[in-house]
Structure 1
Amino acid sequence: MKKILVVLLVAFIMIQFFPIDKTNPPLNPGMDFLKIKKTPPEIAHIISNSCYDCHSHETKYPWYSSIAPSSWLLKNHINEGRKHLNFSIFSTYEPKRQAHKLQECIEMIEKDEMPLESYILGHRDAKLSPEQKQELLKYFKKVKEDTERTMIF
């Protein structure tokens, strides 16, 4: 038993030599969702607080992002989140894709799938109140409708 614990401890120490890259890509405010959609400050705060760590280039890495293997899981969540929806490059999406992403945001909020429970555990202030959910739903629906109006069919 003691031998197993020593092996596990050595393995844990060794994996610490393989840190994740915590570098955020450069920001271009002209491409950011909150800027291009002229999001009201109170809505922008909710979106920044509950979505931007995983869905933008503005990730704030918590203390446990320095400890493997939790850092690897965290980095995977961030990479997947950015791949699926990246608010920092929202203006690069075609209007049809923007409308689709906004519809996905609406669905995720309605189904209580975002923000992830695992994220809320470490970021209690990211949990959306019923009122915040309604505000976001109303806002995303309006922006989606505005986006669809500008689409050329």
Structure 2
Amino acid sequence: MKPFRIVVGIVLLLVIGAQFVPRAPENRAAATAGSFAERFHPPAAVLQVLTAACFDCHSNNTRYPWYARLQPVNAFLARHIKKGKKKLNFDEVAQYGLRKQRTQFNGIINALSDGTMPLPSYRMIHGTLNAGEKQVLIRYFTDLKDRIGKKTGISQPAG
């Protein structure tokens, strides 16, 4: 029984000590002039799903849950968010060239279709998109990808 108490005590000390490790800063930024919503004007249903399920990891406006204040959860989330934004950042996609935008939108369609997004770790805590939500996003991004560059109001960004 005594070795068990020692191990529990050591683990408890490590957990408490980990709380003194600096947390990753929360990356909450005001919507930029070139944000996805401002540039592409998605329907309310699309924006609602993106805001609820995608923007926390794939935009510059992450809403961290309460448990993100705890280490090592904070480090885990910060790593995931950094990778997610590197792969796709909705606040930057409007500044991409047309080819890269189409590639990004095609990647979104593929990730939703094959079930690789949202990530399993996200689904365990937050649930997954239902079939209707996935179809709304797939239809929207398929249409958007097909419209880019055509005379429908979406054109190459200035600059």
TM-score, normalising length: structure 1: 0.89
State the alpha-carbon separation in 2 of the partners of residues 33 and 44 from structure 1: 10
Cα distance, 1:34 vs structure 2: 1.8
Instruction: Name the counterpart of 1:129.
Output: 130
State the alpha-carbon separation in 1 of the partners of residues 64 and 144 from structure 2: 29
Cα distance, 1:147 vs structure 2: 1.8
Q: How does 1:101-112 map to 2 (within 5 A)?
A: 101-112=104-115
Instruction: Name the counterpart of 1:144.
Output: 145
Instruction: Name the counterpart of 1:17.
Output: 20
Of the three residues 84, 91, 96, the one matched with 2:94 is 91
Instruction: Name the counterpart of 1:54.
Output: 57
State the alpha-carbon separation in 2 of the partners of residues 132 and 59 from structure 1: 21
State the alpha-carbon separation in 2 of the partners of residues 24 and 73 from structure 1: 15
Amino acid at match of 2:137: L
State the alpha-carbon separation in 1 of the partners of residues 25 and 64 from structure 2: 7
The structure having more radius of gyration, on CA atoms, is 2
State the alpha-carbon separation in 2 of the partners of residues 117 and 13 from structure 1: 28
State the alpha-carbon separation in 2 of the partners of residues 77 and 107 from structure 1: 20
State the alpha-carbon separation in 1 of the partners of residues 12 and 78 from structure 2: 23
State the alpha-carbon separation in 2 of the partners of residues 5 and 79 from structure 1: 33
State the alpha-carbon separation in 1 of the partners of residues 43 and 69 from structure 2: 34
Structure 1 gaps, min length 5: none
Counterparts in 2 of 1:25 and 1:92: CA distance versus 1, 3 Å: farther
Indicate the structure with greater helix content: 1
Runs of 4+ in 1 over 4 A off after TM superposition: none
Q: State the identity as a percent.
A: 29
Of the three residues 65, 75, 91, the one matched with 1:72 is 75
Amino acid at match of 1:129: N
Q: Does structure 2 conserve the Cα–Cα contact (< 8 Å) formed by 1:109 and 1:137? A: yes
Amino acid at match of 2:129: L
3-state SS of paired residue (1:88): coil
Instruction: Name the counterpart of 1:42.
Output: 45
Q: Does structure 1 conserve the Cα–Cα contact (< 8 Å) formed by 2:28 and 2:63? A: no
Q: Does structure 2 conserve the Cα–Cα contact (< 8 Å) formed by 1:19 and 1:71? A: no
Cα distance, 1:25 vs structure 2: 5.0
TM-score, normalising length: structure 2: 0.86
Amino acid at match of 2:25: K
